[in-house]
Each structure stands twice: as C-alpha cells, then as structure tokens.
Amino acid sequence: MAEEDRIRWDQRYSSRGPASVESIGPPPVFAPFAYMFPTAGHALELACGQGLVAVWLASRGLDVWGLDASPVAIEQARELARAAEVGDRCRFDAIDLDDGLPPGPQVVVVVCQRFRDRRLDRSVIGRLGSGGLLAITALSEVGATSGPFRVAAGELPAAFAELDVITAGEGTGLCWLLARRPD
C-alpha cells in the first residue's frame, strides 16, 4: 500500500473517533446468518478497521487476529476489545496486505469486509480449516459505476468456487459471499 493510502486511512479513522461497544456485530449482510458463525477456535479478519466484527467474534468465544493497514484503526480496535472485555481474545496488527497474508494457523472463520485483493484468494482458502467459514464483502460494479476497487459481476463465487456457498449476492454497489470449506 502506498504511504499516501495509509495516511488517508489513518486520517479517516482519526476523524471517526473510536467505535462504541454498541456497534459491535457481524457484517450487516450476514446478520441473518450470525448463528452459523462458530463459537470456538481461531478467526482471522482482514482489513478489520476498528474491529467491530473481530470483537463480535471474540465475544462469541473465538480467538481473533485482526489485520489492517491503518495503525490508527488498529489502536481503536484494541481499545474496543478492551472496552468489550475481550482484549485477551483479540490480537490486532497493522500489516500491509499488499505483501500477502502473513503466516499463521488454520482458522474456523475468515472475515473480510469491503476489501478485495485477488492475490490473497489462494492464501485465504488455504487458511480455512476443514469446515471453515468465509464471509467476504466487496464493492461491486453491479448497481454502481465501475472502478479500480469494484469487483465484476459473479467474481466472488468464481474466485471461491471450491467452497460450498451458503449465500451470495450482489447489487447496489456491494457483493457478498458466505461459504464453507468442505470437510
């Protein structure tokens, strides 16, 4: 990631201020499927921002590793985890995912919201343990103008075709996929 991009994200998170414990939860599009998210094991959240989903996963009983390029967002995520009393279940690190997914153990859940880097697809699939859940959202060209950070119609199901799709959709500029790695 270019230094200018990191600075822009730091400024964005600084201007928002810390998230509140009341805002913790699953990605909105997956709220109807919240019961499917595991309650034990290890989870990984890519581009975790302020940690809203990571802290939600930790409150469900998971040990979570959240990664984001913004050190400001990472500090806010740590504060949120402490405020929600799950700081011992959360680890947050500022990492540039342009360098790839850092090594780590297999997980029962990978969450990635509004971030898409096709170079990480194989690593994400490989990180999921047997039966592991992938929850990913991204900006989409469907229902919006095309752009460098928007995915093409059908891109997520095609990229993760070896997983068993639970739900997928696209429209109004957002696409999503909830899928499970076969046992």
Indicate the pLDDT class of residue 92, thresholds 50, 70 and 90: very high
Q: Is the pLDDT of residue 1 over 60?
A: no
Q: Which residues contact 34 (CB under 8 A, 6 or more apart)?
A: 25, 26
Of 124 and 183, the one with more pLDDT: 124
pTM: 0.93
Pairing of strands 164-171, 174-180: antiparallel
182 pLDDT higher than 60: yes
Residue range 64-82: average pLDDT?
97
Total domain count for the chain?
A: 1
CA 133 to chain CA mean position, Å: 12
Least confident of 23-37, 44-58, 128-142, 144-158: 144-158
Structural domain boundaries, residue 117: 3-180
Residue matched to tokens 């995915």: 151
pLDDT of residue 89: 98
The rounded distance, in Å, linking the Cα atoms of 160 and 32 is 21
* Alpha carbons 60 and 109: distance in angstroms, whole number: 12
Contact status, residue 173 vs residue 138, Cβ threshold 8 Å:
no
Mean pLDDT value across residues 153-167: 95
Return the CATH number at 149: 3.40.50.150
